[in-house]
Amino acid sequence: MTTKTTLTTRAHELVREHLSSGDIAIDATVGNGHDTLFLAQAVGPEGKVYGFDIQQHALDSCYRRLLEHKADKQVSLYHAGHETLPIVIPATLHDGRIKAVMFNLGYLPGGDKQRTTQISTTLSALDSALRMLSKNGIITVLAYTGHPGGKQEAESVAAWAATLDPHIFNIRVEKNSHSQRPSPELIAINKLPP
Ligand SMILES: C[S@@+](CC[C@H](N)C(=O)[O-])C[C@H]1O[C@@H](n2cnc3c(N)ncnc32)[C@H](O)[C@@H]1O
């Protein structure tokens, strides 16, 4: 694991193991839509992806990407913080079929660096995602430590994950092993099958 790109790819690899055509997935931080597109292609036209971002222009950028790849039909984008997850997607909509939730923390690349994810709303969304996740589903959190507040947010997510019951959840943390300082971290939480 040597670059940020590799950790993004690694998150996709881990999520792909849990997703099939027709599944439901959530992109909790849409940004420019790379993860949303990945999820939309993984679940296919029979599946469903819900995406959240607090910046409309991020959602617009994502929507253009989805259109380019003809993957827009299975995606609903919400101009809302991920802390509204359980309100926007009540149980009646997902029926326990959410197989993957991806978080890519920090700020929008090429955008306003002040508009970052925040510890309190990130942890609130993670708690909700955990409750909504189906058995054998996965949550991935890619946390960046180089911007103001990023290291504290990454540590808070790691501390939150460490409190989870190991009989119910498998937690893995992956970091870049070389050079890049400060380096991002990938935290993956798998809800074990019964
Ligand atoms: C690192 S970017 C995401 C990159 C994206 N996954 C991609 O593939 O391009 C982080 C995004 O989180 C968004 N964000 C910040 N706070 C948020 C919140 N409470 N809920 C949802 N999105 C949020 C930012 O607006 C930004 O677009």
The CATH number fitting domain 4-191, selected from 3.40.50.800, 1.10.3720.10, 3.40.50.150, 1.10.3210.10? 3.40.50.150
Domain boundaries, the chain: 4-191
Q: What is each CA distance from 11 to 51, 57, 67, 94, 174, in whole angstroms? A: 17, 24, 23, 23, 10
Residue 180 pLDDT: 57
Give residue 194 CA to ligand 1 midpoint distance, Å: 32
pLDDT at residue 101 above 90? yes
Q: Among 95-99, 150-154, 176-180, which is the least confidently predicted range?
A: 176-180
pLDDT at residue 2 above 50? no
pLDDT at residue 3 above 50? no
Burial string for 65-93 (b: 16+ CB within 10 Å, else e) reads: bbeeeebbebbebbeebbbebbeebeeee
pLDDT at residue 5 above 90? no
Q: Is the distance from CB of 53 to CB of 75 less than 8 angstroms? A: no
Give residue 55 CA to ligand 1 midpoint distance, Å: 8
